[in-house]
Structure 1
Amino acid sequence: MTTNAPGAASPAVLRYTAFSADPAGGNPAGIVLDAAGLDDAAMLGIAAEVGYSESAFLTPAPDSASASASGQAGRAYDVRYFSPQAEVPFCGHATVAAAVALAEHGAGAGDFVFSTRAGTVPVTVTDADGAPRATLTSVEPHVDEVTAADLTEALASLDWPADDLDPALPPRIAYAGARHLILAAATRERLADLSYDFERLAALMRRLDLTTVQLVWREKDLTFHVRDPFPVGGVVEDPATGAAAAAFGAYARELGLVPAQSELTLHQGADMGRPGVLTVNLRDGDAKVRVSGAAVRIEG
């Protein structure tokens, strides 16, 4: 990639929130619909200036074989995601926000193909009663064990006693485009009380190549409340995390915590004053995970 030509105007940055139909809820993302001509430093600079947990940078893709094969020629984009401090391989909330932004800025509802650093991510935008909603399909997920030493360090960084974990939801590292350490709280009170050692947790996350730590409390069979510390991105907490939701869906299915064909509801952001809802769909016989949510433009 090359940087902007000397004297070129800065690209327009749209601001959308994902996983809420209320601009005051969900997770805000910066969106650049045509990032052609921006180099890594320029994208990182824009993301830092915007200040959200992530910003998405889209470049219209040529009619690649993958786009043509899926019937999406002309609706395919290369997408990169930057936090204020670093690039991340995949970001779910910025994907949902970017797809809705595309639909509202001329493309219309329908199917898109996003080529990300994590792989190809199909996204579908629907418009029911004037409320746009996007559904992303994850890359192939997997779930890994976490070592006892790394779990001990994570709990120490969070200041969580081991007895505060829910033994029915064992710790794991799950991936569906990015890696997330999943830790389940035994009570809603434990989840609500989040005060952690920012630098210590960030160091562990960098060593384990984690994007967030997903903290979970199970309200009932298919309903969960989640929080996502994100110190490696320079952010204390992410308000609604689509990539972690996809990873959690894969985790819940692999460990037999939910039926193989399920729709999970994840509530996130309420503890930050930005409530949002993420819908996770699991299909029997299909390892990939679908994450859906509303998105709306933030004015200003």
Structure 2
Amino acid sequence: MTPSDASGAASGAGDNRWSDLDRPPLNAGSLSHALVRPGSLWTSLEIVGSTGSTNSDLAARADALPEGAVLVAEAQSAGRGRLDRRWTAPARSGLFFSVLLKPGDPGTSGGAVPVARWGWLPLLAGVATATALSRAAGVDTALKWPNDLLVTVAGEERKAGGILAERAGENAVVVGIGLNVTLHADELPVPGAGSLALAGAATTDRDPLLRAVLRSLEHWYGEWRTHGGDPVASRLQEAYAAGCTTLGRTVRAELPGDRVLVGEAVALDGDGRLVLATGDGVQQPVGAGDIVHLRPAGPSAPQAPTDPTSE
């Protein structure tokens, strides 16, 4: 999983539900009762004290599980983001979970979504999470293309979470979401990280936050599938663009092979790629799979603190 990635020092704490009374464990029974219902997308919800990576665990079982399986870990020892970047956090300090989606299965509601549109899934998860957190926690949560969740701490953008979507077999995708909830300043893995608590969240109770995110994800995924994965008809493209702080900024895209592309991020295209308007008048789309790093460029561009788990 990404910044959504757990610390070795926290691994022992994940085994004792009373090791940190300020960070109570998630209530599996209550969450399952609220989310796993007939007609719901969510078909199972499992919470484990500690694991390496919820994405890896769920992907390994993807063929045996129905769509809608949810795996949550109180701590991760091998959480990761894009390009295998590590993500660390103390046990029970955040939400670290993965969901199994099967957009290629024609037997599920809405029919199969063309593989060419699956690239929208991490962006969809970003919209769903940001929307849920803004409502449930009262925190204005922004999106940094392609997979970061940003909050404002002391007037500057900080990365509080991230998303990692991975193919799991022919028809399935595992989407991992990691979110820092109660991390204190002295617990941050890097100075540029953030958390809901540091952003002044109205609540840091992880149970209602997880319910809100999963319900929002169910809504947006349902809309996307109903419209065959069309980002325009489902209003996903519009919603992502509205919440994306990358758009309108001049950015430096570091590409494989030491190539660099600098330009203003002007739009998202129909495939979810970021369109950069370069100085020579060319509009160049770049895909998430092509990006090694995406950084602000130029003196006027707001600079979020560097986070090695970013992008």
The structure with the largest strand share of the pair is 1
- The interval holding the TM-score normalised by the smaller chain is under 0.3
- Report the TM-score, using the length of structure 2 for normalisation: 0.26
Length-normalised TM-score, structure 1: 0.27
